């Protein structure tokens, strides 16, 4: 019975690798390459102990602690610790996203689209496909860890020793494995790939919020989050390995439970009951806007609630910021500001910029879902009726823009009430709305780029995530690593003023909107002329 359940795992491993090899290659190249490039740049950016201690002082500030995590005592900082402070948490989040997407695709999407049914008609075990998928992601995460260790050892600095470099890489790999097991478990509970991703991403967001609040107010609370474990590895200083062990134990428990539940449940079903549909469709649901809204409403609502929660948690730790920020040259460099500016407003503007990158996820996924519907041959059923391509693409595009608007409004609504309770000089709700809405033209340009890819280069639609990653890198590390102007200018967010510290340049925002309109027009023309795939 044991052998029957796992029969064919080896061949399925090769099949899954061939199916996802492009995604795997891009993720590995991005994660490892970015980590190594930044590691090589740090000795040039932080050349003296004074530079390092200047950064260490910024980490005493609760806002920076909430953003990057609790890692070290001020006096223990060295170049490696500084690198981990900047890179560890956000790299863990990135590797978590990678594993959630790949695991949900391998486990639930292949089942949902009928590919697993074809595989199961062959002489393979009931859990062989899931086993092959988990094993594939184990290998990927271990390779990322191995390559990262090798790259860090090439940095010509004494702080990047073998033990510390190995621990940094092990934290990344074990964190990735934790999310592999968690996503595999969620895939057994719900009956759709979309539901699996929503729950997994919701859990990732919840873990970040718990860690954020816990790192500032209660270490016990932070230890309820796997992200809280990871940032307590004290890598490059005392090198604590217990977080790696805890994350691997979590992976084993989640994966074991996932295998058990996969044996128990039937194909195409989830252990959690699905909500029954209405007996009769409403008049609105029978329209294209109503139908698309029915498909996307849960995604929009869940993302808006998540961004409100993260924004509220961010606002709750903004108290007494000016005391910590006064006369810190390094933080001035991070925030790209000058000494005469209001540091509180400057940091809030920077925080809203980071949150606005999260606002890109729902509109992009809404538009990409049209491409997914096409590949699954479901758009064919619509186009056999009196539905034009323009009508369907326009509907998805409008809902993507609507989601962007709600996300930016959610940032303001989330951060305003909690920040008001902790700041001596509170900022009005309208000012928060203005600070978040100023990013709408840049978001519109990114959404229009997705429309262009869907219309002209549909096979490269997923490449939009590389651009989103690039936007984050420029925003997060551009000031420290001193990218050339032409590199910064490629990011749509780089052209958005840090309002209210900078005046709004309506001409620049208008140009962003105009470029977005051009991209949108090209995308619509291309979508009407190209052949449908499926």
Distances in Å between the Cα of 78 and the Cα atoms of 35, 164, 273 are 18, 12, 52
231: left (phi over 0), alpha (psi -120 to 50) or beta: alpha
**529 and 478 co-located in one domain:** yes
Instruction: Mark which of 210, 238, 272 sits at the end of a domain.
Output: 272
Is 367 inside a domain boundary? yes
* Close Cβ partners of 356 (under 8 Å, ≥ 6 residues apart): 408, 411, 436, 439, 442, 443, 493
**442 and 300 co-located in one domain:** yes
- pLDDT for 446: 96
DSSP notation for 133-180? HHHHHHHHHHHHHHHHHHHHHTSSSTTS-HHHHHHHHHHHHHHHHHHH
Is 277 inside a domain boundary? no
Of the candidates 178, 194, 214, 215, which has an alpha carbon nearest to the alpha carbon of residue 95?
Answer: 178
* Close Cβ partners of 431 (under 8 Å, ≥ 6 residues apart): 500
**243 and 371 co-located in one domain:** no
**241 and 291 co-located in one domain:** no
Contact 369, 300 (CB under 8 A): no
**10 and 105 co-located in one domain:** yes
- pLDDT for 348: 81
Distances in Å between the Cα of 22 and the Cα atoms of 25, 104, 116, 289 are 5, 17, 20, 34
CA angle (347 as vertex; 421, 342 as ends), nearest 5: 90
Return the number of other C-beta atoms located less than 10 Å from residue 142's C-beta.
16
- pLDDT for 139: 95
Is 278 inside a domain boundary? no
What's the CA gap between 60 and 66, in Å, rounded? 10
What's the CA gap between 189 and 199, in Å, rounded? 10
Instruction: Mark which of 222, 237, 272 sits at the end of a domain.
Output: 272
What's the CA gap between 243 and 241, in Å, rounded? 6
What's the CA gap between 393 and 234, in Å, rounded? 49
Q: Which domain holds residue 110?
A: 1-272
What's the CA gap between 196 and 107, in Å, rounded? 9
pLDDT in 10s for each residue of the chain, 534 residues: 456 777 878 888 888 888 888 888 888 988 898 889 888 888 877 777 777 777 777 666 666 777 777 777 777 788 888 888 888 998 999 999 999 999 988 888 877 777 777 877 777 777 888 889 999 999 999 999 999 999 999 987 888 889 999 999 999 999 999 999 999 999 888 888 878 888 898 899 889 888 888 887 777 888 899 999 998 888 888 889 999 999 999 999 999 999 998 888 777 666 676 666 677 778 888 888 999 998 898 889 988 998 998 888 777 766 545 445 544 444 555 554 444 346 667 778 888 888 999 899 999 999 999 988 888 788 888 888 888 888 999 999 999 999 999 999 999 998 888 777 766 667 788 888 989 999 999 999 999 999 999 999 998 888 898 899 889 888 877 766 677 888 888 899 989 988 877 788 889 999 999 999 999 999 999 999 988 876
- pLDDT for 22: 86
Is 37 inside a domain boundary? yes
What's the CA gap between 23 and 508, in Å, rounded? 35
Of the candidates 267, 359, 272, which has an alpha carbon nearest to the alpha carbon of residue 310?
Answer: 359
**353 and 436 co-located in one domain:** yes
Is 114 inside a domain boundary? yes
Given 3-state DSSP classes, what are the helix, strand and coil percentages for the chain, each rounded to the nearest 5?
Answer: 75, 0, 25
**33 and 163 co-located in one domain:** yes
Of the candidates 26, 11, 117, which has an alpha carbon nearest to the alpha carbon of residue 109?
Answer: 117
**249 and 373 co-located in one domain:** no
What's the CA gap between 395 and 403, in Å, rounded? 12
DSSP helix/strand/coil, 359: coil
Of the candidates 163, 169, 115, 126, which has an alpha carbon nearest to the alpha carbon of residue 8?
Answer: 126
**294 and 395 co-located in one domain:** yes
Q: Which pTM value belongs to this model?
A: 0.81
Is 121 inside a domain boundary? yes
Distances in Å between the Cα of 177 and the Cα atoms of 204, 246, 294 are 13, 11, 34
Of the candidates 279, 278, 221, which has an alpha carbon nearest to the alpha carbon of residue 66?
Answer: 221
Contact 411, 443 (CB under 8 A): no
Q: Residue 241: CA atoms inside 13 Å, Cβ hemisphere, count? A: 7
Return the H-helix or E-strand segment holding 221: helix 219-222
**154 and 300 co-located in one domain:** no
- pLDDT for 339: 41
Of the candidates 302, 314, 347, which has an alpha carbon nearest to the alpha carbon of residue 58?
Answer: 347
**250 and 321 co-located in one domain:** no
Contact 524, 393 (CB under 8 A): yes
Cα separation of the two ends of the chain: 38
Of the candidates 128, 110, 102, 268, which has an alpha carbon nearest to the alpha carbon of residue 182?
Answer: 102
Is 280 inside a domain boundary? no
**258 and 293 co-located in one domain:** no
Distances in Å between the Cα of 1 and the Cα atoms of 40, 127, 232, 256 are 52, 12, 42, 17
- Number of domains comprising the chain: 2
Q: Cis check for the bond before 500: say yes or no (omega within 30 of 0).
A: yes
What's the CA gap between 352 and 17, in Å, rounded? 38
* Close Cβ partners of 278 (under 8 Å, ≥ 6 residues apart): none
- pLDDT for 1: 47
* Close Cβ partners of 287 (under 8 Å, ≥ 6 residues apart): none
Instruction: Mark which of 224, 251, 272 sits at the end of a domain.
Output: 272
Is 162 inside a domain boundary? yes
Provide the residue count of the chain.
534
């Amino acid at each position: 019975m044991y052998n029957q359940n796992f029969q064919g795992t080896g061949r399925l491993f090769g099949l899954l690798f061939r199916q996802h090899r492009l995604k795997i290659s891009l993720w590995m190249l991005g994660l490892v390459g970015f980590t190594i490039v930044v590691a090589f740049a740090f000795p040039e950016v932080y050349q003296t102990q004074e530079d390092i201690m200047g950064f260490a002082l910024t980490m005493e500030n609760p806002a920076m602690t909430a953003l990057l995590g609790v890692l070290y005592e001020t006096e223990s900082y060295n170049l490696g610790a500084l690198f981990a402070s900047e890179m560890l948490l956000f790299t863990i989040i990135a590797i978590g996203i990678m594993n959630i997407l790949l695991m949900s695709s391998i486990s639930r999407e292949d089942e949902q689209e009928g590919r697993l049914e074809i595989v199961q008609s062959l002489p393979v075990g009931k859990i062989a496909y899931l086993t092959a998928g988990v094993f594939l992601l184990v290998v990927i995460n271990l390779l990322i860890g191995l390559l990262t260790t090798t790259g860090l050892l090439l940095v010509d600095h004494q702080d990047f020793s073998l033990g510390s470099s190995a621990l940094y890489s092990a934290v990344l790999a074990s964190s990735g494995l934790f999310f592999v097991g968690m996503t595999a478990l969620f895939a057994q509970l719900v009956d759709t790939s979309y539901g699996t991703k929503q729950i997994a991403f919701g859990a990732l967001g919840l873990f970040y919020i718990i860690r954020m609040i816990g790192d500032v107010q209660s270490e016990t609370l932070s230890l309820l989050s796997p992200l809280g474990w990871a940032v307590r590895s004290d890598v490059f200083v005392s090198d604590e390995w217990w977080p790696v062990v805890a994350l691997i134990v979590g992976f084993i428990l989640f994966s074991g439970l996932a295998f058990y539940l996969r044996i128990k449940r039937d194909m195409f079903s989830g252990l959690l009951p699905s909500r029954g549909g209405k007996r009769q469709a409403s008049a609105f649901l029978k329209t294209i806007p109503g139908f698309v809204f029915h498909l996307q409403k849960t995604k929009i609502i869940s993302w808006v609630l998540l961004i409100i929660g993260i924004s509220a948690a961010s606002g709750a730790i903004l108290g007494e910021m000016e005391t910590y920020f006064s006369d810190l040259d390094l933080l001035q460099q991070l925030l790209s500001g000058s000494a005469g500016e209001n540091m509180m407003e400057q940091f809030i503007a920077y925080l809203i910029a980071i949150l606005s990158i999260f606002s890109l996820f729902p509109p992009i996924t809404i538009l990409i879902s049209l491409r997914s519907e096409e590949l699954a041959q479901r758009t064919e059923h619509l186009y056999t009726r009196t539905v034009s391509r323009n009508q369907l693409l326009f509907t998805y595009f409008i809902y993507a823009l609507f989601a962007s608007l709600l996300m930016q409004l959610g940032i303001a609504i989330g951060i305003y009430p909690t920040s008001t309770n902790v700041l001596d000089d509170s900022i009005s709700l309208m000012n928060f709305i203005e600070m978040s809405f100023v990013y709408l033209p840049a978001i519109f340009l990114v959404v229009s780029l997705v429309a262009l890819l869907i219309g002209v280069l549909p096979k490269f639609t997923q490449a939009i995530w590389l651009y989103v990653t690039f936007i984050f890198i420029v925003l997060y590390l551009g000031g420290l690593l001193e990218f050339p102007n032409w590199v910064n200018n490629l990011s749509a967010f780089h052209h958005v003023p840090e309002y209210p510290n900078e005046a709004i340049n309506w001409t620049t925002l208008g140009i962003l909107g105009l470029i977005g309109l051009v991209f949108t027009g090209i995308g619509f023309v291309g979508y009407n002329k190209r052949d449908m795939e499926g």
